[in-house]
Structure 1
Amino acid sequence: MAHPDGSIPFFPPEHLELLRARGHPCGWETGDVLMWEGGRPTELVLLEKGLVKVTAESSNGYTSVLAVRGPDELLGELSCVDGRPRSATVTALEPVRGTVVTADHFRRLLTERGALALAVLRSVTERLRDSDRLRAEHGAYPAVVRVARVLLELAHRYGAPPKGTPRPLEVRITQQELAGAAGASRETVVRALRLLQAEGWVALGRGRMMVTAPEQLAAWADCAEVRP
């Protein structure tokens, strides 16, 4: 089954069942930290339900939102492979359920199951490509366009239509989190969202945003002028 954005999941059902069989279920509430930056990599999490944000702290105290992750994605697998401290903090954006697998069990599975190891490699490769693309866009596009592109990507990957309204896509993210993901200040994000609201493409709620006209917003973001 494809994800909401049309992409094919990295882990087929048989791989997910392998991970579940070697782990145990666990749950977290909104705001709970699943993993701390700098922590020991003793386990990873297969996310089953809900969304989390992945953040990193810079030396000047600025928090960057590196990614938002959803169901059927792995959290903390890289540190479990190389044994180095966690490179980011993972926090629940809403009530979350997942399967916790110890690092030892995970490494053993990768040794025993070549197809699973290849799927993990594909997942890591795709995340690296996404990271490279975002870095390129940060230098190429004005902040308002970056905000629009990040919001669209989150909406298509993880957004859900509210009850009774099949078209709009709701994203559970705050303005500060969107600023970190887009590489912009919160003030810049406020101005960008004000513009997008005026066009009727975005609506705001408490701790969430709604992309009300995804096709129009995507067309505008695609045609926006690139920096010289």
Structure 2
Amino acid sequence: MDNAPWLPGTFLARLQPSTRKRLLSAGVRRSVKEAQVMIHEGAEESYVVLLDDALVKVTAALTDGRHALLSIRVSGDVIGEISALNETPRTATVTACRPSVIRVVHRNEFMAFLRDYPDAALTVAGIIADRLRWANRRRIDFTAYTVRVRLARVLWELAAAYGRRSPQGIVVDIRLTQDEMATLCGAAQVSAQKALSGLRADGIVAIRYRGFVVRDSEALRSVAKFNG
């Protein structure tokens, strides 16, 4: 799938075509079923997973037995890179949200690839930095802003990372349940649903069967309190 239309902002989309082709050739192609777990939190394993044609969710166990949705990953993303780089146990569980195709790259091959392609190593560093920035921002948002602002920030982050422009606005082809949306913005489901309804009523976003559309990006950024 080297000619696949990788979503903007994903790991594979950021690589040069020749670099991407080399990495994909190192991966073992596998099909996974919906709800199948491909990475288990706490497991001592260090392979890397490239999402060839996939939609997955990243969760972590809470002390009360529930699981928190940390993020979502889409076709073109890489997962498991931290354990591969540091040889540490998995920090989260990764589960397929739909039937998907992945490529598994063993740690030794991945490390050799990064040594041979310094541009790819820099790209991995950039991906990790982006994820840390996302996590830090969310922690601050949970204490500093209302649910409406937090939701607007989550929607904008997804649109900026994975959206594609169309006459209707910025289209994000990622389907999220109301519960998952609420978890991402750190709110009760009823509060997140109310905030989303408000954004829809204001004509800022529209919900589709498989994702959402940002109809007014400037208004969304304003609600999210992003400057510039």
Contact 2:149–2:223 (Cα < 8 Å) also in 1? yes
Matched, 1:181 2:184: yes
Q: CA distance change for structure 1 residues 25 and 88 in 2, over 3 Å: closer, same or farther? A: same
Matched, 1:136 2:140: yes
Match of 2:110 among 103, 106, 109: 106
Aligned to 2:161: 157
Contact 1:150–1:182 (Cα < 8 Å) also in 2? yes
Q: CA distance change for structure 1 residues 159 and 61 in 2, over 3 Å: closer, same or farther? A: farther
**How many residues of Structure 1 are paired with residues of Structure 2 in the alignment?**
221
* RMSD (Å), alpha carbons: 3.1
Contact 2:51–2:101 (Cα < 8 Å) also in 1? yes
Alignment partner of 1:68: what SS? strand
Q: CA distance change for structure 1 residues 89 and 8 in 2, over 3 Å: closer, same or farther? A: closer
| 1:131-156 deviation line (CA, Å, top 9, x unaligned) | 22222222221112111221232234
Alignment partner of 2:169: what SS? coil
Match of 1:16 among 6, 10, 20: 20
Shift of 1:218: 1.3
Shift of 1:199: 2.2
Match of 1:190 among 182, 186, 193: 193
Q: CA distance change for structure 1 residues 47 and 209 in 2, over 3 Å: closer, same or farther? A: closer
Contact 1:202–1:209 (Cα < 8 Å) also in 2? no
Cα distance between partner residues in 2 of 1:39 and 1:189: 33
Aligned to 2:79: 75
Match of 2:92 among 61, 73, 88: 88
The AA in structure 1 aligned to 2:223 is A
Q: CA distance change for structure 1 residues 6 and 40 in 2, over 3 Å: closer, same or farther? A: closer
Deviating more after overlay: 191-200 vs 86-95: 191-200
Shift of 1:217: 4.2
Cα distance between partner residues in 2 of 1:31 and 1:161: 30
Cα distance between partner residues in 1 of 2:139 and 2:14: 23
Aligned to 1:148: 152
Aligned to 1:25: 29
Structure 2: any 5+ residue segments left out of the alignment? none
Alignment partner of 2:138: what SS? helix
Contact 1:152–1:211 (Cα < 8 Å) also in 2? no
Matched, 1:66 2:64: no
Cα distance between partner residues in 2 of 1:49 and 1:187: 32
Deviating more after overlay: 111-120 vs 146-155: 111-120
For residues 28-67 of structure 1, the aligned pairs below 5 Å read 28-67=32-71
% same residue? 32
The AA in structure 2 aligned to 1:167 is G
Cα distance between partner residues in 2 of 1:75 and 1:8: 12
Alignment partner of 1:171: what SS? coil
Aligned to 2:202: 199
Shift of 1:193: 1.9
Structure 1: any 5+ residue segments left out of the alignment? none
